[in-house]
Structure 1
């Protein structure tokens, strides 16, 4: 009688950026998967991306298609890693051939946060005095804040989260705008002075969720990732990404969204704004979560008919 020897569980390599936030997110995914698959080995491989290396130029000036993902994707394609953990807002809507979005994890608060210098502790975004200097590297935030609060001043800011907070505390800025999710994931939720209402700032596509990218058709990895997929977040972000993809915009154009699922109804709100904030087009559509991508496409077409296409064409001409 011959005995069969089963092969040992696969050792899975996870690609991650080297930044503190990226590693916190990647380790969270690793630990969650380790709980589901205690017999597997999960190893993190860190890489530096172009976006991590170029810190003295505005993001909008260097282009952002794959700015924080390309090196990780090369690792997937040459099989030195099995999947990569991204902030979903950094993951382009068009992925390289041979790769796919394998999983979306449960979203944390996707809103933007106002963080202020100590001298403005008694102020809100709406009560900050004229000429207050706000730091942001996001054209989306910039355009919306200019639209609603034209009396404020805005200045570009780069660097990781700790670097930005240090620049704020040193007095280079009166306030800065960051993602609630990043601050909370790094245990810095106490720095959130105000969660900016969506009426003022719609968030970035995918903000607050993690997107896990893997090789297309890798059934074993997809089976593993399915254990941490969050269906409501998947539907919400599919709608958002379809909206962005149809408008042919990256995260460095003024496109913002908000999504909600209540009583099996998915509502997607989207906006497109000019860089100076003087033009802002906004609307909403609703349907079932299963119609997520169609809702994104429908809303994009709606805004195109109302002038979004012309606004974006002008922006692309300005930032190229």
Structure 2
């Protein structure tokens, strides 16, 4: 006897954090439609980003953010799954043809956490200490504050990176507070970094739901899960990133806030050595979130100038 057809099939990476996020979508989808969560299937899909974790190379070096979503997008387009669940900061700024990102769960804490077994905060690290990260944004932000630190490659899931600290691979690292909280490991944070000084990655802390662009049934199913404030902020931040991705490979930070019907968006681009920062902000109607993000991205490019960007690209 054949198993009943699932209400929906969720595709996700197999990391502990990805599975927590997929189960959260499963639970919320079941609640929204009054069904048993067990009728919503979760399918684990191995991605190129997962398979590359052992290399310790930064995502910029090996192909960019799409490495964590490509195979899930392919499964979505082929009809093997109905929904893709992603950490939004891992989603490429330009979606593949036929894919839409219509819904976002309420955003978690956007900040980064400083984690160390020897120091209470970044300033307490001894001179020349090793800081573990493979994020070009975090590298630039750390070097901007502490140019004496030595950056060492540091990839892997949350538990892997925490274990590397214990093993002495580095004296400190930086992780997203959202991921720690979702895994029940918020207590691992040694200190919380001020987002005005350590601006998060665009879309950090948000979980997005991807569907096939023309699938009206799925669009209606996920609509109740969409959190308006999060949605507007992510649209603005991703629009900013889309402009910058098209022009330079450089560390990008973004931070949005909704106040009434107005979006406040701040952004920055930083040289890889952390010694030069171009920052700006925009405010405008929430309905213009995408246009505001694109405008700020262009202002950051204009503020840096072609000579600076060329120099950064060669560094």
Aligned residues of 2:82 and 2:211 also touching (Cα < 8 A): yes
1-structure distance, mates of 2:5, 2:152: 51
2:172 is aligned with 1:175? yes
Q: Alignment partner of 1:101: what SS?
A: strand
Aligned-pair CA distance for 1:124 = 1.6
Aligned-pair CA distance for 1:186 = 0.5
Mapping for residues 14-53 of structure 1, pairs under 5 Å? 14-39=10-35, 41-53=39-51
- 1:3 aligned residue: none
2-structure distance, mates of 1:175, 1:195: 13
TM-score with structure 1 setting the length: 0.91
Cα-Cα RMSD? 2.0
Aligned-pair CA distance for 1:199 = 3.0
2:7 is aligned with 1:11? yes
1-structure distance, mates of 2:305, 2:44: 39
Aligned residues of 1:258 and 1:268 also touching (Cα < 8 A): yes
- 2:125 aligned residue: 128
Q: Alignment partner of 1:48: what SS?
A: coil
Task: Go from structure 1 to structure 2 and tell me whether the alpha carbon gap of 1:179 and 1:310 turns closer, same or farther (over 3 Å shift).
Answer: farther
2-structure distance, mates of 1:9, 1:270: 45
Among 190, 194, 198, the alignment partner of 2:195 is 198
- 2:74 aligned residue: 74
Aligned residues of 2:248 and 2:309 also touching (Cα < 8 A): no
Runs of at least 4 residues of structure 1 off by over 4 A?
A: 249-252, 308-318
Per-residue CA shift, 1:184-209, capped at 9, x if unaligned? Answer: 11010000111111232110111000
2-structure distance, mates of 1:217, 1:87: 22
Q: Structure 2, unaligned stretches of length 5 or more?
A: none
- 2:113 aligned residue: 113
TM-score with structure 2 setting the length: 0.92
1-structure distance, mates of 2:180, 2:247: 23
Aligned-pair CA distance for 1:306 = 1.2
Count of matched residue positions in the alignment of Structure 1 and Structure 2 = 308
Q: Alignment partner of 2:169: what SS?
A: coil
- 1:58 aligned residue: 57
Q: Structure 1, unaligned stretches of length 5 or more?
A: 1-7
Q: Alignment partner of 2:124: what SS?
A: coil
2-structure distance, mates of 1:145, 1:16: 31
Task: Go from structure 1 to structure 2 and tell me whether the alpha carbon gap of 1:52 and 1:308 turns closer, same or farther (over 3 Å shift).
Answer: farther
Aligned residues of 2:180 and 2:186 also touching (Cα < 8 A): yes
Q: Alignment partner of 1:67: what SS?
A: helix
2-structure distance, mates of 1:214, 1:277: 38
Among 262, 273, 278, the alignment partner of 1:276 is 273
Task: Go from structure 1 to structure 2 and tell me whether the alpha carbon gap of 1:249 and 1:198 turns closer, same or farther (over 3 Å shift).
Answer: farther
2:219 is aligned with 1:219? no
Which structure features the higher share of helix residues? 2
2-structure distance, mates of 1:72, 1:164: 24
Task: Go from structure 1 to structure 2 and tell me whether the alpha carbon gap of 1:250 and 1:57 turns closer, same or farther (over 3 Å shift).
Answer: farther
